[in-house]
Structure 1
Amino acid sequence: MTGAVIDEAAVAGRRAEDDTAETRLTIGATQGCERLEQRVTRYATGRSRSRAAGDREHVLFVVSGAGRLDLDGHAHALAANTGVYVAPGERYEVDNDGPEELVVVEVTVPGPADPGPAPGRQVTVRLDDQPVHWAGERQFRLLVDTPVGCRGATQFVGEIPTGHAPPHSHSYDEVVYVIAGEGAVHMADIEEPIGPGSCVYLPPQLLHCLENTGEATLRVLGVIQPAGDPGSKAAVSGR
């Protein structure tokens, strides 16, 4: 199975009438990703229409802007570098006080067979409050994960220094959104440039690596399914 690299700006946005949200479906079944869907939503000033989680878990990350998420009548502050968990069956609206857009990356995964609330439920998680984990010279922090009630996925933000790791694979599905920096993704003898707004799908067992080709840190948002350790590898090339 091959992966995919999509430029968010190349995907047509959709906005419903009387809604503040313009949404782009960047990764899904069209790219061969059957269980995860990644969307980038830009909220204009004002209050969005109500959005239903349905039977899927929704894992959100605020890229930029500030506002509030109203989840079943309870308000939760939104700011850059905040992870958000919306459980199956819940509804939410987003308030953006402006004047800047509120940019959110949302990944959905199938909900659990038992839709009841999980222990330790949290709605929002601040990146700055999370401990740093290391995988070689790269570091990552977990946001939405099983300890906050999400059963089917793990959300993290990774930081990649200049250079690249050996090609490797994972046992999980992974979708990536580039927050900042410049680089390239290597997979299946293909090299694609990536930068802010790049969206990447990495299926299980695909040999790949992300390379930082610039001087600044390459910051990426990742979501893996099923939930687990983003630093685990199924195989490393040459070993």
Structure 2
Amino acid sequence: MMGSRYVVYTADVTPEAQARPVLTESFGCAYLTQTVLTISGGTALFESGQHEELLFVLHGRGRLLLDGGEHDFGPESGIYIGPGETYRFDVTEPTEIVSVRVLNPAGDEVAVGDRRTVSPLDAQEIGKATAGREYRILADPSTGFRSGTHFVGDVPPGEAAPVHYHRYNEVIYILQGNGILHIDGERNPLYPGACIHLPARTLHQVENTGDEPMREVAVFVPAGSPAAAYLPDGTSAYPTQPDDPQGGVR
């Protein structure tokens, strides 16, 4: 589908040096932007500027050098970068990374725990969400990411979750599987490399049309639970979460 207001496909974006800017401010992303980075070999230097930055390693291996420390990374690792930091990748095999930047990071009013710079996916606990979905949190305020939550979620085959919305703003990258995003009259195909911009309080439905779990990596702001989803009338779509105190959307 061409001309979607919510989905960009990585392969359709012309690279700029090492980067493919897939979800940008010009696309309407007012809270989060998303870029796919490719590092073929050697070293690559980056700066976070005023942003908090969340990275997810799609494939590749190497070492992150940050603030005098060294951190090994491999596939399916989440990485947290704070505002005003310069960091370098020394890669030992070609590496591809999904980078999400928080345009307006939260301030000191948000309490944070001890920082965790690198978070291997397989070391994180599994949580449960709507319609049999599972998720693992890579970073949130408890690990030093002040503004939001960085997680990987699995959407199982079979019946889709009901039409719902979230109170947070979110960007998503599809890692594996196939499906459809039903949103605001659009029917967008989903497959690896599809990037989704999901504004807060927008009704949508993700349907897995394949025979394996559809996996996504996402960042949302402000922080919260990936299980916090609401039906159009504001009722929680998952029993452990409270209803929306602001009421529903139509």
TM-score (norm 2): 0.87
Q: Which one is further off, 2-11 or 85-94?
A: 2-11
8 Å CA contact 2:111–2:141 kept in 1: the answer is no
C-alpha displacement of 1:97: 1.2
1:78 pairs with 2:78? no
Determine the C-alpha separation between the residues in 2 that align with 1:230 and 1:117.
19
1:178 pairs with 2:180? no
> Where do 5+ consecutive residues of structure 1 fail to align?
16-21
The CA RMSD measured in Å over matched residues stands at 2.0
8 Å CA contact 2:77–2:119 kept in 1: the answer is yes
C-alpha displacement of 1:225: 0.7
2:14 to 12, 18, 31: 12
C-alpha displacement of 1:235: 3.0
8 Å CA contact 2:111–2:146 kept in 1: the answer is no
* Paired position in structure 1 for 2:229: 233
1:193 to 189, 196, 211: 189
AA aligned opposite 2:151: F
Q: For 2:11, what is the secondary structure of its paired residue?
A: helix
8 Å CA contact 1:66–1:80 kept in 2: the answer is yes
Q: For 1:38, what is the secondary structure of its paired residue?
A: strand
TM-score (norm 1): 0.90
AA aligned opposite 1:33: C
8 Å CA contact 1:63–1:81 kept in 2: the answer is yes
Structure with the bigger percentage of strand: 1
Determine the C-alpha separation between the residues in 2 that align with 1:230 and 1:119.
19
Identity of aligned residues (%): 35
* Paired position in structure 2 for 1:122: 116
* Paired position in structure 1 for 2:90: 95
1:143-158 alignment runs, 5 A limit: 143-158=138-153
Alpha-carbon spacing, 1:118–1:147, altered in 2? closer, same or farther (3 Å):
closer
CA offsets per residue over residues 179-235 of structure 1, 9 Å max, x none? 011111110121110100000011111110111100011000111111111110243
Determine the C-alpha separation between the residues in 2 that align with 1:177 and 1:103.
13
CA offsets per residue over residues 22-51 of structure 1, 9 Å max, x none? 111111212211111111101111111x21
Determine the C-alpha separation between the residues in 1 that align with 2:234 and 2:228.
17
8 Å CA contact 2:46–2:87 kept in 1: the answer is yes
Q: Which one is further off, 174-183 or 27-36?
A: 27-36
Aligned residues: 229
Alpha-carbon spacing, 1:147–1:157, altered in 2? closer, same or farther (3 Å):
same
AA aligned opposite 2:203: L
* Paired position in structure 2 for 1:161: 156
Q: For 1:59, what is the secondary structure of its paired residue?
A: strand
> Where do 5+ consecutive residues of structure 2 fail to align?
236-250
Determine the C-alpha separation between the residues in 2 that align with 1:82 and 1:134.
21
* Paired position in structure 2 for 1:104: 97
C-alpha displacement of 1:3: 4.8
